[in-house]
Structure 1
Amino acid sequence: MNITREQVDALNAVVTVAITKDDYKQKVDKVLENYRKTASIPGFRKGAVPMSLIHKQYGRAVLLEEVNKILQASLNDYLAKEKLDILGNPLPKITEDFDWDADDYSFEFELGLAPQFSVDLSAKNKIVKYKIVADDAMLDEQIERIQKQYGKLISKEKIEEGDDISGTFTNEEKGIDSTVNFTTAIFKDKKTAKKFIGKKAGDVVTVSTKGLFDDDHKLMDFLKLGHDDVHGLDVEIDFLIDEVNTSEKAELNQELFDKLFGEGVVTSLEQLKEKIKEDAELQFATQSDQKFLNDVTESLIENTKFDLPEAFLTKWLQSAGQAPLSIEEAEAEFKKSENGLRYQLIESKVLVENNLQITFEDLKAYTSEVIRKQMAQFGQMNPTDADVDGIVARVLSNKDEVKRLSEQVMSEKMLNLFKEKVKFKEKEVTYQDFIKEMYGE
């Protein structure tokens, strides 16, 4: 057996695997001999079937199978030995007049090779990293929400200004069916708010989505629609009133502070605001980090230039999925997935060049942190190490969970690397301004 490679260009090569009779004959003969021992053919005793008949009935199928095994094993060994970084899988070149009656065979495979390129994380760019702050308006809103949540709820028959209203927004055409709670203060103009005054449970109020709120993004929350669906949305929606309540707000006293954060942790309104600000900005930091990671990713794809073996990959996509694709469908699929492939190559190079690896201790520590945060959400503020370790062990015994958590750990490592090496400008914004910046508005 002999394997040779012809370099077509920097991104394409053809590997030829030449297999001789000596490579496969012994294996084929052994399989056929086993067939002979077990074959049950009318007119012959078991084990006494003439080998010529076995060859005639099974010879071609066994030959194809054994040659294919040799072919695949030798090709895989060659790619590993030569350390060829290929994209997709080798594609066999079809030979119309291939002669299986010959003793020796030659098979050709097309290869798509990964490009050579460099990644400059420190290059100048226009990336902004946002520091999201909780402003006074947000803090006041949060405090009022807390007071209502821990206050006394009083049922009412008719709506008055400031009452809590529960019900469902619907619009059959747009598929809107969203159950929400709000007060009339959420609406942009007073005419809309007045439509609700005096209404009671069971009544339906119809409003227009156009200009309903001071920010169209609020439609995403109240109507459960996607970002692209709310802009320019101009339809009538019905609101079926389920309940009308008013809240007797809880007093901002030590009893409330202790309920919220534990005994003695917060002792004044100023400390309450500081705590709310701290917790909110911790959550905002996660969103800011995600946008930063996305922006760096887009910048690297845009600014890291290299060619891909497009013709090869398009051809490979035609047969890579469950159903074969036409050349037009494969070309469209390549265009759709091209940026994803480019980033996979960029990310792989960044990982290697910066020696980013995940150890079991990394995974265990990250999982432990996730578990502790989840337990805190359910009021278990100080679980024992033994309890946490037991849960971590159970989680890490699940292969799917290990894969998911490993991806999160690597994403965090990439984020920290980008923070360290990528040049960016920091910009302080409120959460509402961040939402506008994130969607380019």
Structure 2
Amino acid sequence: MEITLDKKNNTEGLIKIKLTEGDYQPNVEEKVKDYARKANIKGFRQGKVPTGVIRKMFGKSILVDEINHLLSHKLSDYIKENNLKILGEPLPNTEKALTIDWDVQKNFEFEYQIGMVDDFPYELSSKVKVQSYPIEVDQKTIDETVSDLKKRFGKVNYPETSEADDNLFGPLKETDGDFSREQSFIAVDKIEKKEQKKFIGVKKGDAIEFDIDKVFSDENLKAQVLGVSPEEAKAKKGKYILTVETISRTEPAELNIELFDRVFGKDAVTDEAGFIAKIKETIGENYKRESDHFLEHHIEDHFVANTSINLPDDFLKAWLKSSSQGQVTDEVLGQEFEAYKRGLKWDLVKNRIADDNKITVEADEVRAKAKDLIISQFGGHAFAEQLGDKLDAIADNYLQNENGQNFMKLYNQLRSEKILKYIREHITVQEKKVTVDEFKKIVEEHKH
């Protein structure tokens, strides 16, 4: 057997494997004998089938299977032994393979195209400066949240005439078109201010005609009213008619112990001051997650933009098309290849940082993560106390499900979290505190 690597450049190469009869024939003969012992063929007693009959009936398929098995192992071993940092999987030269005459040939030559990544330097030190935007929970956000909670847990009634905070229900149809929806819903306070007067003071049975783009500047609201996707909603124009069948009004709940218990659980807070403090804490935790997630985007941006990595574009395109079962076409590559390369570069940087700094994840950490996930989904720590020792078995069962995919999903999540934590600890994170509205504007303006 002869295996050689013909490097086209630092990122592309061709592995050639030459096989002689002595490389595969002993195993082929052993498999022929094994078939003869096990085969159940009419006219022969089981275990007494002549090997010549087996060769005639199954010889070619046994040969092909054995050579494919041998190639797979030898190719993998060669890559590991030579420490080749390959991308994707080796691509066999299928055109050359089709010229093989399995009935006659004794010696074979196979070729595999590979894509590789060169060693690359990266900067991980306090000299790396990345901007972070921690969110300050201002009074406006607290007031809006309290108002929303009072409304969400308030008492619903059904007045005869609509007001500014009411909801209108009924069939919706296009004035000069075929579109119609059997039941739609419009929240009057979500309508553009200058258009709200059309929806105030109406009664059941009234028909309201309106221009949908004047009434809803937000495509998501427009989509909700029409019951279509935001993309479909963009194409919907012109006038529509809502026939009011029901008017609902929510009387805000009072700030009392009943509301506190409904929002945070029994006896979690006992007075208005504690309620407001808990709301601020909860909002702060939620926005911290958003702020941290946005910081991770900025870290990714920095390393992708400032780390030079040569990638084998032609190989990657060929591999993506070959491994996608027809899902990736030239058109798809034209639209998405740059985004794929960006994600690949970031993965390569993270993997190098993890390898260089021995960042690992143990199985016990994955199991602990699974237990936390199960506890959070099924009622918190009270649920965990009820389960007792059974929680370990439930976690193990969850991790084994989906052919181990659940384990790998949590493993990769934990590994990514550890890598990003390590990065944050070794760079300079410059903080600029912002309000919720300022943060939303910054996120909207951020482009990859």
TM-score (norm 2): 0.79
Aligned to 1:274: 277
Q: Provide closer, same or farther for how the CA distance between residues 16 and 66 of structure 1 changes in structure 2, counting only shifts above 3 A.
A: same
Per-residue deviation, residues 199-258 of structure 1 (Å, max 9, x unmatched): 234544344444546877766777777777888986545545453233443332445445
Aligned length: 435
Cα distance in structure 2, aligned partners of 1:136 and 1:55: 84
Q: How far apart, in 2, do the equivalents of 1:324 and 1:257 lie?
A: 51
Q: Please report how far the alpha carbon of residue 90 of structure 1 lies from its aligned counterpart in structure 2 after TM superposition.
A: 1.9
Correspondence for 1:110: 113
The equivalent residue for 1:432 is: 437
Counterpart of 2:15 in structure 1 is: 15
- Map Cα deviations across residues 324-381 of structure 1 (whole Å, 9 max, x no partner): 97777767664452222222222221222233322233223333433444345xxx67
Q: Which residue type is aligned with residue 66 of structure 1? A: E
Shift of 1:24: 2.1
Q: Could you say which residue in structure 2 is the equivalent of 1:200?
A: 203
Deviation at 1:74? 1.8
Q: Where does residue 67 of structure 1 map in the other structure?
A: 67
Letter in 2 for 1:11: T
1:276, distance to aligned residue in structure 2 (A) = 1.3
Local SS of the residue matching 2:433: strand
Q: How far off its partner does 1:133 sit?
A: 3.0
Aligned to 1:356: 359
Contact 2:167–2:186 (Cα < 8 Å) also in 1: yes
Tell me: CA distance 1:224–1:114, structure 2 relative to 1, closer, same or farther (3 Å): farther
Amino acid at match of 2:442: E
The answer for the alignment partner of 2:193 in structure 1 is: 189
Q: Deviations over 1:147-182 (max 9, x none)?
A: 334443332111134435456777799999995563
Matches within 5 A, 1:208-247: 208-210=211-213, 212=215, 235-236=238-239, 238-239=241-242, 241-247=244-250
Deviation at 1:21, TM superposition (A): 1.9
Name the structure 2 match of 1:293.
Answer: 296
Partners of 2:40 and 2:46 within 8 A in 1: no
Moved more, 34-43 or 234-243: 34-43
Match of 1:82 in 2: 82
Counterpart-to-counterpart distance in 2, 1:437 and 1:54: 72
Percent of pairs with identical residues: 26
Cα distance in 1, alignment partners of residues 126 and 227 from structure 2 = 40
- Give ranges in structure 1 of 5+ residues lacking alignment: none
Equivalent AA in structure 2 for residue 197 of structure 1: I
Contact 1:36–1:47 (Cα < 8 Å) also in 2? yes
Which of 411, 422, 444 is 1:406 aligned to? 411
Q: Over aligned residues, Cα RMSD in angstroms?
A: 4.1
Corresponding position: 1:423 with 2:428: yes
Residue 6 of structure 1: aligned partner: 6
Q: More deviation in 321-330 or 362-371? A: 321-330
Do 2:171 and 2:180's aligned partners in 1 also have CA atoms closer than 8 Å? Answer: no
User: 1:102-156 CA distances to partner (integer Å, 9 max, x unpaired)?
Assistant: 4433333222212211332447667432222332223222222333344433321
User: Partners of 1:176 and 1:198 in 2: how far apart?
Assistant: 23
Shift of 1:308: 1.0
Is the 8 Å Cα contact of residues 13 and 114 (structure 2) preserved in structure 1?
Answer: yes
Unaligned runs of 5+ in 2: none
1:142 to 2:145 alignment: yes
- Kindly indicate whether the alpha-carbon contact (under 8 Å) linking 1:39 and 1:49 is maintained by their aligned counterparts in 2: no
Aligned mates of 2:238, 2:207 — CA distance in 1 = 16
